[in-house]
């Protein structure tokens, strides 16, 4: 059972759930390209130490980057209910932030050119007295914003 479904109050309705965009796996793919470049050098006149080193470094870094991204994506929950916005981060160590809907003043969405093309971005929710930390690399941030502001 997810964190969000466990903390719903009686009568509270879940309106929207979001997750981090798959682009967080991109560094792992870039390291994998380094490993492929090392394999391509295996057919050249380079000594084996060069291409074997590139392959080993690329594969190890790719696996570490993918593991980090997977843990971040699996451990992050974003939800909008009819009463509040819920943000949970972490698998082992948990960090949660909740903001009541009546305290929300504005919702900012920042998208780069790639973010607009691939539909991801950063969302910052500002409320009376405080604001949620920027929620980075959110999948479909405009829909998330619409669910927060549609009251």
Task: Give percent above pLDDT 70 in the chain.
Answer: 98
| Average model confidence (pLDDT) across the chain | 91
pLDDT band at 49 (very low <50, low <70, confident <90, very high): confident
DSSP three-state, residue 84: strand
- pLDDT over 90 at 146, yes or no: yes
Task: Give the number of other CB atoms < 10 A from CB of residue 64.
Answer: 13
Asked if the model's pLDDT at residue 76 lies above 90, the reply is yes
Per-residue pLDDT at 115: 95
DSSP state of 10: T
- Other CB atoms closer than 10 Å to residue 47's CB: what's the count? 10
In this model, does residue 131 exceed pLDDT 80? no
* pLDDT range class, residue 108, cuts 50, 70, 90: very high
Average pLDDT over residues 22-47: 85
Q: Which pLDDT band holds residue 1 (cuts at 50, 70, 90)?
A: confident
How confident is the model at residue 37, as a pLDDT? 83
Helix, strand and coil content of the chain, in percent to the nearest 5, comes to 45, 30, 25
What does the pLDDT average to over 4-13? 94
């Amino acid at each position: 059972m997810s964190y969000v479904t466990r903390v719903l109050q009686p009568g509270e309705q879940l309106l929207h759930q979001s997750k981090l965009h798959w682009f967080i796996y991109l560094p792992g793919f870039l390291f994998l390209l380094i490993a492929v470049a090392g394999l391509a050098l295996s057919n050249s006149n380079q000594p084996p130490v060069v291409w074997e080193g590139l392959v080993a470094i690329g594969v190890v870094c790719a696996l570490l980057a993918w593991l980090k991204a997977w843990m971040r994506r699996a451990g992050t929950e974003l939800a909008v209910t009819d009463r509040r916005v819920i943000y949970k981060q972490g698998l082992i160590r948990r960090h949660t932030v909740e903001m009541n809907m009546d305290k929300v003043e504005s919702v900012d969405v920042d998208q780069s050119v790639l973010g607009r093309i691939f539909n991801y971005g950063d969302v910052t929710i500002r409320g009376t007295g405080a604001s949620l930390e920027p929620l980075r690399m959110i999948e479909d941030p405009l829909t998330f914003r619409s669910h927060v502001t549609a009251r």
